[in-house]
Structure 1
Amino acid sequence: MSDEGGRGERLATWLEGLGLAEHLPAAGLPVLDRDADGRAVWTDPGTRRPMTDDQLAELERLLRQDGSEPEHAVPVSLVQLARRARVREQLLASPWFSYETLAAVCGATVDATRFSVHKAASAHRLLLVAADERTLVPAFQLTDVGEARPELVPVLEPLLAAGTDPWHVWAWLTQPAALLGGQVPERAAADPEEAAVVLHAAIRLAERS
């Protein structure tokens, strides 16, 4: 239960300060809430009961197990989860198509568009991303008339054939990449002088997937 000034409050303040508290449930960790008086309340996700001090001590040990100085350690897996969540929010805020909106751009029926999209995806020529029971077609990979950008197809093929996580593919292609000296891959691929470098970087990334 809540322990004002104790371990639960200390843990809560620490995680809130790192911006990680809201990501605890997604990591399968206990739920942190604040009661009407602003005190930390920790709930065991399995029993849905308030956590004991022994349970909180074990949680703290788990969160601080990374690094050689536990008192200063940051829960790396939780930080990674939070970063992935932030990246996904950024990607979802960028342009993408549903079957319906892409059909309008292509001047085709929704059924025909769905068929062509999945045909291209099965050939590893088009990136599809699942989100909240929807299928998204990121817009960066398409021309103004809704066709696959020919310069990106060779880059997508090794990544998708390797089974690379679609969110990772979307993020890597649209954000500055270390393997390309900070260039954005999907933009660099449009430059004939950089296309081979982008392809090489995509193949290396695919090999690590």
Structure 2
Amino acid sequence: MTDDLAERLAAWLEDLGLESHLAEAGLPSFTRDASGLAQWVDPHTGDPLTAEQLDQLDTVLHSDGSEREYAVPLALVQLARQARVRKTLLASPVHSYGSLAELRGESVNATRFAVHKASAAHALLVVPHHRDQLIPAFQLTAAGEPRVEMLPLLLPLLSAGMDPWHAWAWLTQPVALLGGLVPHEAAADPDEAALAAHAAVRLAERVVSSG
């Protein structure tokens, strides 16, 4: 019975494409042995899950939704979506301190100081990624300077403490409140800049209220 449950949970998560997000969610994860059977392990001890632990995991994974057999682990779905969004963002033009220094024609130290100063003033979005700091290129001019028209968008969002990844995604994807326009592009349009700034302020207010 334990082996059946272990395999059923593993196959279900694989069908949903969520198996790679278990560890990130702090849940037990599994690998498949040489015969293809799912081997579940406790994230804290590394030991195989007991029958009781598997039952508990089954309950947790099916806890969302009114009909248990159709429930989907929403936390894992959200992590999977977040991973897809981050992958898309990372594929867009970004700068490190080194590449931005080269573009600006100055030393890395000078660029790092300028970036830190602008970031502290909430005038530049800097996104942490592992041990690196990424500077998304959409907010910069061709010469590597901050776009002045971005300040009315960046200032409220970053002052509100919005997660940098979420800010990056919002600024670079179509937004319903802007009629499907992309905020950072709308900011460069004199006819849309005020609406883009208003949308940023409204979003910042929601960030503060939810914090």
Structure 1 alignment gaps of length 5 or more: none
> Under a length normalisation based on structure 2, what TM-score does the superposition of the two structures give?
0.95
Q: 2:43 aligns to what?
A: 45
- Secondary structure (helix, strand or coil) at the match of 2:80 reads helix
Q: 2:173 aligns to what?
A: 175
Structure 2 alignment gaps of length 5 or more: none
Note if contact 1:151-1:190 (Cα within 8 Å) is conserved in structure 2: yes
**Equivalent-residue separation in structure 2 for 1:196 and 1:112 (angstroms):** 33
Report Cα offsets for 1:106-161 as digits up to 9, x if no partner: 11111111001110110000000010100110000000000111111111000000
- Counterpart code for 1:44: D
- What does residue range 104-119 of structure 1 map to in structure 2 within 5 Å? 104-119=102-117
> How far is 1:2 from its partner?
7.2
> How far is 1:162 from its partner?
0.5
- Counterpart code for 1:78: L
Q: 1:63 aligns to what?
A: 61
- What does residue range 1-209 of structure 1 map to in structure 2 within 5 Å? 3=3, 6-209=4-207
- Counterpart code for 2:67: E
Q: Which stretches of structure 1, 4 residues or more, deviate above 3 A after TM superposition?
A: none
- Counterpart code for 1:127: L
Note if contact 1:2-1:40 (Cα within 8 Å) is conserved in structure 2: no
- Counterpart code for 1:48: G
**Equivalent-residue separation in structure 2 for 1:201 and 1:32 (angstroms):** 43
Report Cα offsets for 1:15-46 as digits up to 9, x if no partner: 11111000000000001111111111100112
Q: How many residues align?
A: 207
Note if contact 1:35-1:41 (Cα within 8 Å) is conserved in structure 2: yes
> How far is 1:53 from its partner?
2.0
Report Cα offsets for 1:26-75 as digits up to 9, x if no partner: 00000111111111110011221111222111111111111111110111
RMSD, aligned CA: 1.2
**Equivalent-residue separation in structure 2 for 1:88 and 1:191 (angstroms):** 27
Note if contact 2:2-2:51 (Cα within 8 Å) is conserved in structure 1: no
**Equivalent-residue separation in structure 1 for 2:16 and 2:158 (angstroms):** 34
**Equivalent-residue separation in structure 2 for 1:180 and 1:74 (angstroms):** 32
- Counterpart code for 2:193: A
> Under a length normalisation based on structure 1, what TM-score does the superposition of the two structures give?
0.96
